[in-house]
């Protein structure tokens, strides 16, 4: 059994720090759900290093994740994103300032989640109350 087995990560992050953070959590056994726009994470298209026309950087930091394409401007996709967040134990996001409004979850919402910040990546990580985070 992996140390984080049974923990679900909703990963709305992109580019470097956030995907790296959720990659390590997935490597330790968490189920990581990578939420991407229909265009995909910016790093999918970084060249020149590619494998089957996908950037090798993208492939390396998004291993062990399930990718879900959602257009957060589409009301049905936004509802699906909310359901994913509600069912997840951890939310990782690194939106630009004001970008968090896309998923419309305030820093402390009625879901019972409270924000904490990962000290090295400065990513917002939100844990469900009542859960004791695993020590890594």
Query: Which tens digits make up the pLDDT trace of 35-76?
Result: 988 888 877 777 778 888 888 888 888 888 999 999 988 999
Query: Which tens digits make up the pLDDT trace of 76-122?
Result: 998 898 888 888 888 888 877 777 776 665 444 444 444 444 444 44
Instruction: Kindly report the three-state secondary structure assignment for every residue of the chain.
Output: CCCCCCCEEEECCCCCHHHHHHHHHHHCCCEEEEEECCCCCHHHHCCCCEECCEEHHHHHHCCCEEEEECCCCCHHHHHHHHHHHHHCCEEEECCCCCHHHHCCCCCCCCCCEEEEECCCCCCEEEEECCCCCCCC
pTM of the predicted structure, to 2 decimals: 0.69
């Amino acid at each position: 059994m992996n140390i984080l087995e049974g923990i679900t990560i909703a990963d709305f992050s992109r580019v470097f720090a956030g995907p790296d953070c959720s990659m390590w959590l997935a490597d330790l056994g968490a189920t990581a759900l990578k939420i991407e726009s229909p265009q995909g994470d910016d790093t999918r298209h970084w060249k020149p290093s590619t494998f089957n026309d996908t950037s090798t950087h993208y492939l390396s930091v998004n291993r062990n994740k399930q990718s879900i394409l959602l257009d957060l401007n589409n009301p049905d996709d936004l509802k699906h994103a909310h359901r994913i967040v509600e069912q997840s134990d951890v939310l990782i996001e690194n939106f630009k300032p004001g970008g968090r409004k896309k998923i419309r979850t305030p820093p402390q919402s009625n879901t019972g989640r409270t924000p904490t910040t990962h000290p090295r990546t400065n990513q917002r990580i939100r844990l469900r109350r009542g859960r004791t985070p695993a020590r890594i």
